Amino acid sequence: MSVPSAHTIQLAQTGDRTALDDLVNAIRPLVQRQLTRYPVTEDDKQDLLQTTLLQIVRRLDSFRGESSFTTWLFRVTANEALMLMRSQRRHRSRLLEGLEDDELDAITHDAYGFEEPFGEAHDRAEHLRAALASLPKNYQTVVAAHYGQDLGLQEIAQRFDMTEASVRSRLHRARARLRSVLADQQVGIAA
């Protein structure tokens, strides 16, 4: 695994096809090795490898040499991996009404690690709705905005005239309460 030369990088930035191919072949093992650090499936790693290489080719002109090429390369790779993980986390975390029972099943199973969370899908949905309803209103508002409307922390803070730290804190506390309530319900059902 070798880092491409500055000359190869410069030629690739000008659109030289041979240099671009050489660059991609040189960085592929570096990107693959970095992707092993992220908790994603093998299929996701293969997809990430392709999207990362594509992003590197697309954004190669943004590399100005102010840092080492490997630093820039690792940042692009990290951004791609973190975006995928964030997307997957949001998908798993959709806890609000309006979702299909199958999605609720997958969410509760993945998010809380239960072997079989609630039995029938309808019961799971009802337990989840009850858990959400048990949250204080200010937590429900933030949870609904974040998961239901897919808003980021800053957007929620602006919408509800709060600090970003308050939003983060409420989301954290809401998730902790939901885990606790759902775990208690699981124990009650299993008994």
pTM over 0.85: no
Q: Are residues 40 and 97 in the same domain?
A: no
pLDDT tens for each residue of 8-30: 999 999 999 999 999 999 999 99
pLDDT tens for each residue of 42-75: 888 999 999 999 999 999 999 988 889 999 999 9
Which domain-ending residue is among 90, 123, 151? 90
**1 within domain boundaries:** no
139 in Cβ contact with 174 (< 8 Å): yes
**76 within domain boundaries:** yes
Q: Are residues 13 and 98 in the same domain?
A: no
